[in-house]
């Protein structure tokens, strides 16, 4: 199993409960496709470098997990259509 990090940028215009639901849905996707979540970091609200969907601010979350390589394509395809997610990025972490 490889180590990955999923960065999720959630719009600042949605309610706290809905934002929590978006992050929970992302964590559920990882677990659904065989991933083991090791850590979830909430980086808080930050100003975006450029406007995305008419929004200047967003909340950043980083989900670290272990999974097989085949699960990443499934996770990304579901994140692409998730409501409330402005951007996402899944990267493999190298062994140091």
User: Over its length of 96 residues, how does the chain's per-residue pLDDT go in tens digits?
Assistant: 899 999 999 999 999 999 999 999 999 999 999 999 999 999 999 999 999 999 999 999 999 999 998 999 999 999 999 999 999 999 999 865
Burial of 62 (0-12, 13-18, 19+ CB in 10 A): middle
Give the domain ranges of the chain. 2-58+65-86
| CATH of segment(s) 2-58+65-86 | 3.30.70.60
The pLDDT score that the predictor gives to residue 96 is 57
Q: Quote the distance between the C-alpha of residue 96 and its chain's center.
A: 23
């Amino acid at each position: 199993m490889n180590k990955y990090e999923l960065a999720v940028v959630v719009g600042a215009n949605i309610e706290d409960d809905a934002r929590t639901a978006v992050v929970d849905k992302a964590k559920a996707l990882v677990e659904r496709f065989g991933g083991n979540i090791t850590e979830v970091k909430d980086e808080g609200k930050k100003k975006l470098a450029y406007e995305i969907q008419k929004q200047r601010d967003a909340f950043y979350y980083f989900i670290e997990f272990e999974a097989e390589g085949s699960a990443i394509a499934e996770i990304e395809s579901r994140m692409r259509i998730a409501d409330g997610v402005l951007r996402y990025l899944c990267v493999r972490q190298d062994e140091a």
